[in-house]
């Protein structure tokens, strides 16, 4: 299946904002962030190609199956990375979901991943987190997955007693230099208050995702100094072409 390309609308916000269209991969298909089961009619390659043609210089790939401990999409991720690196224009790719060992981290780095996201290991395996930090610090981002300020792990299915702030401070203590705050969808508006608290407490640059779904949300993100970018469900770029205007800007 192919898609007609749209001309981007004039960008009303600050081009400093880094946008990561996010492909949530489950059973070899792209599923929605909110539904985690509702799949896309396009193949993952078609959707990635569409977004890159529309101006994306960054992509985020989330292995939902690996995050939940129910298999993985590693071969598919490898194929997408290969296609991205075959492009004339640089495309940076962030990988998340089930990265819980040095071997897994090295696998994706060898394939050309730009950033790796560590989440569950911050809760369950402090020793592994320290090992990853010792070997791969320049690549690593700490994920804080939370709903109403309370942490959830293992693909959002396992609530934790930790607060988002607790985990962010733990990640900083490990030596992480970047945070990814995933505000798990559920409320009407994004939890910008928690984002402000994490930024103020850690002083670390942060990207926010999960509940960021509209151009208005992205305009609000631009007004929060702690937030350097946003993850947006890749499927939403098909549904609301206004989002395409935010894809401008080279990968850095």
What is the torsional sign of CA 196, 197, 201, 205? negative
Measured CA to CA, the distance from residue 136 to residue 130 in angstroms comes to 10
Cβ contact 209:183 at 8 Å = yes
Nearest to residue 149, comparing CAs of 167, 135, 136?
Answer: 167
pLDDT reading at 12 higher than 70: no
Q: Are strands 58-63 and 18-26 parallel, antiparallel or unpaired?
A: parallel
Helix (H, G, I), strand (E, B) or coil at 235: coil
pTM exceeding 0.85: yes
* Cα dihedral 34/36/37/39 (nearest 10): 70
Average pLDDT, the chain: 87
- DSSP secondary structure letter of residue 156: T
Measured CA to CA, the distance from residue 88 to residue 102 in angstroms comes to 30
Measured CA to CA, the distance from residue 157 to residue 21 in angstroms comes to 23
How far is residue 100 from each of residues 64, 72, 140, measured CA to CA in Å? 14, 13, 12
**Residue whose entry in the numeric block shows the structure tokens 């075959």:** 86
| Mean pLDDT to the nearest integer, 196-222 | 95
Tens digit of each residue's pLDDT (9 = 90 or more) over 82-113:
999 988 889 999 999 989 999 999 999 999 99
Q: Read off φ and ψ for residue 150, nearest 5 degrees.
A: -105, 130
**22's tokens:** 């996010």
CATH of domain 18-247: 3.20.20.70
Confidence band, pLDDT 50/70/90 cuts, at residue 233: very high
pLDDT reading at 79 higher than 80: yes
Task: Give the CB-side neighbour count of residue 50, counting CA atoms within 13 A.
Answer: 22
**Strand (E) or helix (H) holding 74:** helix 74-85
Tens digit of each residue's pLDDT (9 = 90 or more) over 155-203:
555 566 789 999 999 999 999 999 999 998 877 799 999 999 999 999 9
């Amino acid at each position: 299946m192919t898609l007609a390309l749209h001309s981007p609308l004039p960008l009303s916000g600050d081009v400093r904002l880094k946008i990561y269209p996010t492909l949530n991969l489950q059973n070899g298909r792209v599923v929605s962030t909110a539904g985690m089961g509702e799949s896309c009619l396009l193949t993952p390659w078609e959707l990635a190609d569409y977004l890159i043609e529309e101006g994306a210089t960054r992509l985020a790939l989330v292995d939902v199956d690996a995050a939940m401990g129910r298999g993985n999409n590693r071969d598919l991720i490898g194929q997408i990375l290969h296609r991205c690196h075959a492009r004339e224009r640089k495309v940076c790719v962030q990988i998340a979901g089930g990265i819980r060992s040095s071997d897994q981290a090295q696998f994706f780095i060898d394939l050309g991943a730009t950033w790796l996201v560590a989440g569950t290991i911050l809760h369950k395996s402090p020793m592994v987190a320290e090992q990853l930090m010792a070997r791969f610090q320049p690549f690593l981002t700490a994920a804080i997955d939370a709903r109403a300020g309370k942490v959830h792990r293992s693909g959002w299915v396992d609530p934790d007693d930790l607060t988002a702030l607790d985990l962010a401070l733990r990640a900083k203590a490990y030596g992480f230099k970047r945070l990814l705050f995933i505000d798990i969808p559920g409320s009407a508006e994004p939890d910008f208050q928690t984002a402000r608290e994490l930024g103020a407490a850690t002083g670390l640059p942060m990207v926010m995702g999960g509940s960021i779904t509209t151009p208005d949300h992205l305009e609000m993100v631009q007004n929060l100094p702690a937030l350097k970018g946003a993850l947006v469900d890749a499927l939403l770029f098909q549904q609301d072409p206004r989002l395409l205007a935010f894809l401008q800007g080279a990968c850095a």
